Amino acid sequence: MNVTETTAQHTYGTWRVQKGWKPLHVAKAEGCYFWDAGGKRYLDLSSQLMCSNLGHQNQAVVDAICEQARKLAFISPAFTCDVRAEASLKLLEVMPRGLDKFFFTTSGTEANEAAIKIARAYTGKHKVIARYTSYHGSTAGSIACTGDLRRWYVEPTSGKIPGVVFGPECNCYRCPLGRSYPDCGIACADYLEYMITHDENVAAVILEPIVGTNGILVPPKEYLPRLADICKRQGVLLIADEVMSGWGRTGSWFAVEHWGVTPDILVTAKGITSAMAPLGVCATSREIANHFDEHMFAHGHTYEAHPLTLAPAIAAIDEYRRLGLLERACTMGEKLGARLRGLADKHPSIGDVRGMGLFWAIELVRDRKTKEPLAVPKDKYLAALPAATARKPMTIDQVTADLMARGVFCMGWVSHLVIAPPLIIDDAQLDEAIDALDGSLAIADRAI
């Protein structure tokens, strides 16, 4: 059996036209590496989809899954079991103080669906404000709240929910309002307040505290506190999507902690089990939880609070602590940031380097002065159309393909690379990554 051909013939590849898809056959993974069926090793510089935070095949998490499978593999969410209570108590140890009631899902997109429903039910209002440069998932509610090109395929209404409106993101490198920090006065937050005050039907604002796939956009220190204060004053809930930015990725359990902000609802997934089991969490404040003591909680899934997903979360939290990975993300992140800025000094195609902890992006441009990107979302959209399948690959795709040839996997999106290695990465592996990036970025330099 040819695994690649069978996979392409009988299963769907996500977010792509299917013609020409030849997925790499991965045979094993361990630590910061994975191997293809031919034995070639690849350094995982993006933790797959920014989720394998503990590295691959962490033994404690593997053991937790196996032990739970032998003990109790499944029970309906109408019942409870030891691991459901244990996971809840373990989450209380790491969640921002005040978030103490949880709805368990099997993904981040499902957790965002829960957050939207909860916000609307609690406030009695309908509209949700999201931001243009964002990704919140692929199901109806979460894709409606997504601002990037993946939403375009379901517009105007098919496959999405009504009542979602978009405001500007916080992007100090390429400000959507044409301003410059700090003279801007955080106008992007004030714009969202303007949207709220001119509409009495806003239930919530949903955002990634640090934008993930769309560029690792780290806000200035005033932004999140300002926005949290706006939401509180206007009676609007703040939903923090920490699917990517949580679980030690930025050097704290959750990114909001860097700015002293506790959202009304926090959504997370991915790193909660180091992606070794599909678990998402929608965490709410006690005030929101109390509302449903007397009102219907009209939501649920067959696999909500699935025991096989909860046991590895407990083990993963213990592993983050045992290995000191939050502190490690800070120290290794400083090294990574310095090395990436060193690459910027050498490669004229690098317009910006930004990040926090072990969550970084290199943005590629045609001109540093004008900040003209190598590509825009429309380019990626057109490249995915069937009529364009013979078109020359985007530069970012050429860069990532060259990295793979050098034995390094790194996710590229439109015109930037997402650099988010497992939190266990060491100095030698960091050297390996930087050497590969140095070589592959020559492709981008030639494209400008």
pLDDT digits (tens, 9 = 90+) for 54-106: 999 999 999 999 999 999 999 999 999 999 999 999 999 999 999 999 999 99
The C-alpha angle with vertex 355 and arms to 351 and 360, in degrees rounded to 5, equals 80
Domains identified in the chain and CATH numbers: 3-54+324-447 (3.90.1150.10), 73-322 (3.40.640.10)
CA distance 35 to 118: 42
Point out which residues pair with 418 in neighbouring strands: 361, 411
Rounded to whole angstroms, what are the CA distances from 237 to 204, 255, 262, 397, 438? 4, 18, 11, 38, 44
**Cβ contacts of 229 within 8 Å, gap of 6 or more:** none
**Whole-number pLDDT of residue 160:** 67
CA distance 423 to 263: 25
The share of the chain scoring above pLDDT 90, in percent, equals 93
Nearest CA to 305 out of 141, 88, 93 is that of 88
**Whole-number pLDDT of residue 1:** 86
- Other residues' Cβ atoms within 10 Å of the Cβ of residue 82: 13
**Cβ contacts of 138 within 8 Å, gap of 6 or more:** 109, 150
Average pLDDT of the chain to the nearest whole number: 96
Nearest CA to 371 out of 230, 176, 209 is that of 176
Q: Quick one: DSSP state of residue 146?
A: -
pLDDT grade, residue 386 (50/70/90)? Answer: low
CA distance 73 to 293: 30
CA distance 293 to 290: 5
* Full strand arrangement of the beta sheet holding 280-285: 99-105, 280-285, 265-268, 237-241, 202-207, 127-131, 164-167
Q: Is the full-model pTM beyond 0.75?
A: yes
Tell me the two tokens of residue 408. Answer: 């390094």
H-helix or E-strand spanning residue 364: strand 359-367
The answer to whether residue 384 scores a pLDDT higher than 80 is no
